[in-house]
Chains A and B, each alone.
Chain A
Amino acid sequence: MTFQNDTIAAIATALSDSGIGIVRISGDKAIEIADILIRSKSGKRFIASAKSHTIQYGFVVCEKDGILENEMDTKSGKMIDEVMVSVFRAPKSYTKEDVVEINCHGGVLVTKKVLELVLHSGARLAEPGEFTKRAFLNGRIDLAEAEAVMDLIHSKNEMAMKASTSQLRGDLSNKIRLLREEILYEIAFIESALDDPEHISLDGYPERLNGKCDHLISEVQRLLDSAENGRMVKEGISTVILGKPNAGKSSLLNMILGQERAIVTDVAGTTRDALEEYVNLRGIHLNMIDTAGIRDTDDLVEKIGVEKARKYAMDADLILYVVDTSVALDDNDKEILSMINGKKTIFLLNKSDLEQKVSENDILSLLHFVEDGNQKDSMKENSLKSEKMESGISMISTSAALGEGLDLLEKEIEKLFFHGDVKQNDQVMITNLRHKQELENAKNALLLVKKSLEDGMPEDFYSIDLMQAYASLGSIVGEEVGDDLVDEIFSKFCMGK
């Protein structure tokens, strides 16, 4: 017997993988769902009769509006992807439930589309780590794996403890800890006044607590807002790659990702829109944004791309400026330098394998020129400003074509990060639904404290909801032992694994 009985699905491979994307489905309805979605070349359903531990060849199809017919010609319906389907019948599967894995070949968007269809057909999106959780709960994982989980928990908590020095995930945790301390102080005050009324007076305390609640609520609301406005969807340092067309931005991204992700050609202007990638570089999470090349252009689509790049640069935590050193600097470079506008920037002097037409000094003088243009007044001030700019500048020679300079780049990013020169935006943290929920809980609890104050309740009532707010915030930073512990622990796994 399995532990849970609904059917879950998720993309089991990293989304940046442009090769095969696997949609994994687990649960009682896994085979049924796959059976509806997947057809043979002639449009027949066949997965339900497939043997366990076999791989089938077929097509994911649907009507234009996503409706699935019982019998559907692959030609009349919309073919989504050509797929290989692995069927594992319970209990001989990863989760000990029926598992179907659909190997998609059409890239990220197609894989997402297939997942969407699976969810439409009756599966629920898996929580992070839920497959592993099921494997564990159904007694599938061996001790070594469970130990790995335990180690993970520890490493996580230790990281959280070191947050203030390392900055790793630290901003939110610190903020939450501060809020918790403030709440705890109030609880302690009320409690000690209850037990020692002779020495601790609560005269005028309700007014003070009311002000405190207002302050706490606005702080929590601020964190919640960051989740709402969705400015940044993923965790990590927002890193924007800028450069002229064909400077090698996409090649650089590919080099970092170690795979062909961005479309690279020799034709300038290939990347017309911005591409986002989530990378883990030496333990630091980067949200890499590859932009269209910056140039004065009449192409409308390309123009939009340039405008987007400018916007991304404005919000960036870190800029990687890719300079094609085989081509002389021009007005477009000036344009890009003006976009940098004091942001942390690493200059990548790319194409070091070709004949060099640009030196570090050329870039610095151009940078000074741009700065001068921005600030015409005093020479002294200019030089001061320039020195400041220079100290925030790093230059690295790279050759994306030959894969050189990556190591230096990684080191440089690491250095910036640990010196605290680059911080991840604290807003990025509230992307976790559970965190958001707990923040909501904390806020509601604080509002209830205010209600108690308004109703003139005796002081011993305040601590009930203060405790709730304290506990809710605590469960975000792992300082409160939650009830759904197993859930929490396994959510540390990445989605679908």
Chain B
Amino acid sequence: MSEIREKVDVCVVGAGHAGCEAALACARLGLETVIFTVSVDSIALMPCNPNVGGSSKGHLVRELDALGGEMGKNIDKTFIQSKMLNVSKGPAVHSLRAQADKAEYSRAMRKVLESQEHLTIKQAEVCELLWEEINSNEEHNNKSFTGQENSNDDSLNGKGLIDKRVIGVKTFTGAIYECKGVVLCTGTYLRARCLCGEAITYTGPNGLQAATHLTDSLKEMGIELRRFKTGTPARMDGRTIDYSKMEEQFGDERIIPFSFSTDPESIQKEQASCWLTYTNKATHDIIRANLDRSPIYAGIIEGTGPRYCPSIEDKVVKFAEKERHQVFLEPEGLHTHEMYVGGMSSSLPEDVQLAMYRTVPGLEHCKIVRNAYAIEYDCINAKQLNPSLEFKKIKGLFAGGQFNGSSGYEEAACQGLVAGINAAMEIQGRDFLVMDRSESYIGVLIDDLVTKDNREPYRMMTSRAEYRLLLRQDNADRRLRKKGYEIGLITEEEYQDLLCKEKLIELEIARLKETKVGANKEIQSFLERHESMSLKTAASLAELICRPELDYAMIEEIDVGRAEAYKNYCSMEQVRSRYLTADGKLSKEIIDQVEIEIKYEGYIVRQKRQVEQYKKLEKKMIPADLNYDDVPSLRLEARQKLKEFRPVSLGQASRISGVSPADVSVLHIYLERRQRNS
């Protein structure tokens, strides 16, 4: 029998948010890439909420953009409302969220994929991975983790652990694609089944075809799979909703783009509204009365759902004392009447759903377009992965997205990007991109996934990041653009743009620190007007900005040098007009950075000190071939856990549950000795 046989560099399985980023990264790095999807019409589909970003997820998207990912740019093209959340709180928790026109989002991303050089889109179900056994002595992974010590130590590179290498994929129709790397981004499609009360269908989200064959192939390769579940609320016909009973939710007056490459001026536009309403006692009564018909509470669903994105049933059961819960009505797009009912995902039967929704003010006469449902799918425990997102035991096989046990578009996209980049790095013989917890939310996300025993879909939250004052959404470019540039996903122009921004920030901070104002009458009266303590001796402008009651804008009237400070720079070619207006004024982006750095300097310094502390253990690498049975005095539980997770560093080891500080000390001493003896 003849069959199609092709040779490429990378195969990406799945074209959701993870798959798109992975495929684009590989293709942009010059590798021949094929992206497989069960339906080309569902590329970058948003099967659940119609928005991108949100608390801490907004951080993820901006970081992804800083590294050269596509999601930020794509939502900037297709958003219909944008809002910076938590502005009443500190800058660390400000987070951007944009409502998307779902259809436009999907179409725009498809267009990006289609116009990408080296990238081929293929509608086919991948049902088998092709692989070969490798002799652990004959060859081993030569990659090292970037930015970490001992990276040239061969023993770090997984020798003795890797036993297979992936060499291609096979589709349901028998076509074979030979390749050097595979990125699995199967999302919620593997052996998916959807549940709406008693009604069960064996499909992926939105009635799309599930991928039923790949699981067996993965199991054959020794990959352990498990089952997770998630859910989505109903979509309403907007014409049947009475918005007069709801609170209108507007977008921001001044829209801030997700992408650092998007000119803010280019995206200021008319925005759509969302609407806020609440559940009530009647809603909760109906839910309680019908819990036995919920597949979760009736025990039909085996998968574990996300605690932090609970269904309305879960909320009513877990927060029994709450009299009401928020419900957001969000448009699915500009060219449809469909409205997403945020906060009320459910797997109750159709009749219960309708009755339940109709108790909510404004939804009394609603008609449901699509029912709420829960979906169950196969995924992995990501402890089988290295922080590079490559399987510990299978060379060339990477994984990203919901397949790794996460939840959310943004979490998926970030992993897809990292998995794609690292698949490319391996093929090109370059250093892996591995970020630690002090560098990015993406670093936190991946570290949590590969280190912790996650028992439910992992959702990013601000509280997961220990060093969040440093990991702000506003400085993601300053943290990560350089990495993206070195990898090759950030253009020279984008990088120069960053350098220019950095320069202006640096100059302005220095100017404010050096400019002193005396305790003269004018200054004292200014301070008095703003209810600020009068000066005893001269003070710098930076010191005044530090005062809680003052800020950069306020002190303009006593900052006589401000207007002239950058006049001369305007003509310089390397200074982008974006950061400096024609009359020499700094843009808001620059001012925000300057103000944050000055105002929160003390906190930033303290947090940096905490990071230094943290990094010490992160830099102590553990050889991949370490035999934990050789380490004396380890407790049994710790020994088992360490064997199971095989952490790359002492830092990672210290975060594994069941490994105590004493165990880490024991391991530390053993490694020090080993290193000294060699």
Chain B residue with Cβ nearest A456: B548
Query: Nearest chain B CB to A260's CB is how many angstroms away?
Result: 39
B617 touches A195 (CB 8 A): no
| Residues from chain B with Cβ under 8 Å of A457 in the complex | 90, 548
Q: How far is the CA of A150 from the CA of B665 in the complex (A)?
A: 8
Which of A7-15, A106-114, A229-237, A483-491 makes up part of the contact surface? A483-491
Does any Cβ of A come within 8 Å of B352's Cβ?
no
* Given known contacts A146-B673, A194-B462, A483-B616, A464 and B661 CB-to-CB distance under 8 angstroms: no
* Given known contacts A139-B676, A157-B660, A199 and B322 CB-to-CB distance under 8 angstroms: yes
| Residues from chain A with Cβ under 8 Å of B56 in the complex | 195
* Contact residues of A between 191 and 241, Cβ < 8 Å to B: 191-192, 194-195, 198-199
Chain A residue with Cβ nearest B672: A486
The 10 A-B residue pairs with the shortest CB-CB distance in the complex, in nearest-first order = A191-B463, A150-B633, A458-B90, A483-B616, A458-B89, A157-B662, A455-B548, A460-B90, A195-B461, A481-B661
Contact of A192 among B463, B660, B662 (CB under 8 A): B463
Chain A residue with Cβ nearest B321: A199
Interface string of B41-77 (1 = CB under 8 A from A): 0000000000000011000000000000000000000
Contact of B617 among A157, A461, A467, A481 (CB under 8 A): A481
Does any Cβ of B come within 8 Å of A459's Cβ?
yes
List residues of chain A with CB under 8 Å of any chain B CB: 136-137, 139, 143, 146-147, 149-151, 153-154, 156-157, 191-192, 194-195, 198-199, 448, 455-461, 464-465, 467-468, 471, 478-481, 483, 485-486, 488-489
B326 touches A198 (CB 8 A): yes
A468 touches B606 (CB 8 A): yes
| Residues from chain B with Cβ under 8 Å of A198 in the complex | 325-326
| Residues from chain A with Cβ under 8 Å of B600 in the complex | 461
Jot down 9 A-B pairs with beta carbons below 8 A, ordered by A. Answer: A150-B632, A150-B665, A156-B662, A157-B660, A457-B90, A458-B90, A461-B469, A461-B603, A481-B665
* Given known contacts A150-B666, A464-B469, A194 and B325 CB-to-CB distance under 8 angstroms: no
B89 touches A485 (CB 8 A): no
A460 touches B89 (CB 8 A): yes
Query: Nearest chain B CB to A135's CB is how many angstroms away?
Result: 12
A150 touches B669 (CB 8 A): yes
Query: Nearest chain B CB to A237's CB is how many angstroms away?
Result: 27
Q: How many A-B residue pairs have CB under 8 A?
A: 109
Chain A residue with Cβ nearest B459: A195
Contact of B662 among A153, A456, A468, A483 (CB under 8 A): A153
Contact of B665 among A467, A468, A479, A485 (CB under 8 A): A485
Q: How far is the CA of A486 from the CA of B668 in the complex (A)?
A: 8
Q: How far is the CA of A136 from the CA of B665 in the complex (A)?
A: 14
| Residues from chain B with Cβ under 8 Å of A459 in the complex | 89-90
Q: How far is the CA of A358 from the CA of B616 in the complex (A)?
A: 67
Query: Nearest chain A CB to B327's CB is how many angstroms away?
Result: 11
B462 touches A195 (CB 8 A): yes
B55 touches A195 (CB 8 A): yes
Does any Cβ of A come within 8 Å of B35's Cβ?
no
B610 touches A149 (CB 8 A): no
B669 touches A486 (CB 8 A): yes
A461 touches B90 (CB 8 A): yes
Query: Nearest chain A CB to B83's CB is how many angstroms away?
Result: 14
* Given known contacts A198-B325, A478-B661, A489-B665, A460 and B673 CB-to-CB distance under 8 angstroms: no
B673 touches A464 (CB 8 A): no
Query: Nearest chain A CB to B641's CB is how many angstroms away?
Result: 15
Does any Cβ of A come within 8 Å of B537's Cβ?
no
B617 touches A483 (CB 8 A): yes
Query: Nearest chain A CB to B599's CB is how many angstroms away?
Result: 10
Q: How far is the CA of A459 from the CA of B617 in the complex (A)?
A: 29
* Given known contacts A139-B677, A481-B617, A485-B665, A147 and B660 CB-to-CB distance under 8 angstroms: no
Query: Nearest chain A CB to B412's CB is how many angstroms away?
Result: 20
* Given known contacts A194-B462, A195-B461, A199-B319, A146 and B669 CB-to-CB distance under 8 angstroms: yes
Given A136-B673, A153-B666, A457-B548, output 19 extra A-B contacts at Cβ < 8 Å: A139-B677, A146-B670, A150-B669, A153-B665, A156-B662, A157-B661, A194-B463, A195-B56, A198-B325, A198-B326, A199-B319, A460-B90, A460-B469, A461-B469, A464-B607, A465-B606, A480-B661, A481-B665, A489-B665
B89 touches A151 (CB 8 A): no
Interface string of B75-105 (1 = CB under 8 A from A): 0000000000000111011000000000000
| Residues from chain B with Cβ under 8 Å of A461 in the complex | 90, 469, 600, 603
| Residues from chain A with Cβ under 8 Å of B548 in the complex | 455-457
Q: How far is the CA of A465 from the CA of B603 in the complex (A)?
A: 8
Query: Nearest chain A CB to B167's CB is how many angstroms away?
Result: 41
Contact of B93 among A143, A460, A479 (CB under 8 A): A460
| Residues from chain A with Cβ under 8 Å of B616 in the complex | 483
B662 touches A460 (CB 8 A): no
Query: Nearest chain B CB to A489's CB is how many angstroms away?
Result: 6
Q: How far is the CA of A460 from the CA of B462 in the complex (A)?
A: 10
Query: Nearest chain B CB to A121's CB is how many angstroms away?
Result: 31
Query: Which of B319, B468, B666 counts the most A-chain CB atoms under 10 A from its CB?
Result: B666
Interface string of B443-471 (1 = CB under 8 A from A): 00000000000000000011100101100
Chain B residue with Cβ nearest A196: B308
Query: Nearest chain A CB to B466's CB is how many angstroms away?
Result: 7
| Residues from chain A with Cβ under 8 Å of B440 in the complex | none
Q: How far is the CA of A486 from the CA of B660 in the complex (A)?
A: 16
* Given known contacts A154-B633, A195-B462, A467 and B666 CB-to-CB distance under 8 angstroms: no
Interface string of B304-335 (1 = CB under 8 A from A): 00001000000000010010011000000000
A458 touches B88 (CB 8 A): yes
Query: Nearest chain A CB to B326's CB is how many angstroms away?
Result: 5
Q: How far is the CA of A486 from the CA of B603 in the complex (A)?
A: 29
| Residues from chain A with Cβ under 8 Å of B92 in the complex | 460
Contact of B654 among A154, A157, A191, A481 (CB under 8 A): A481
Query: Nearest chain B CB to A163's CB is how many angstroms away?
Result: 15
Query: Nearest chain A CB to B314's CB is how many angstroms away?
Result: 13
Q: How far is the CA of A143 from the CA of B660 in the complex (A)?
A: 22
Q: How far is the CA of A160 from the CA of B469 in the complex (A)?
A: 35
Does any Cβ of A come within 8 Å of B613's Cβ?
yes
| Residues from chain A with Cβ under 8 Å of B319 in the complex | 199
Query: Nearest chain B CB to A184's CB is how many angstroms away?
Result: 13
Chain A residue with Cβ nearest B56: A195
Q: How far is the CA of A136 from the CA of B670 in the complex (A)?
A: 11
Interface string of B591-634 (1 = CB under 8 A from A): 00000000010110011001001001100000000000000110
| Residues from chain A with Cβ under 8 Å of B676 in the complex | 137, 139
Q: How far is the CA of A149 from the CA of B672 in the complex (A)?
A: 13
Query: Nearest chain A CB to B336's CB is how many angstroms away?
Result: 28
B673 touches A143 (CB 8 A): yes
Chain A residue with Cβ nearest B661: A481
Query: Which of A151, A458, A485 counts the most B-chain CB atoms under 10 A from its CB?
Result: A485
| Residues from chain A with Cβ under 8 Å of B660 in the complex | 157
Interface string of B536-551 (1 = CB under 8 A from A): 0000000000001000
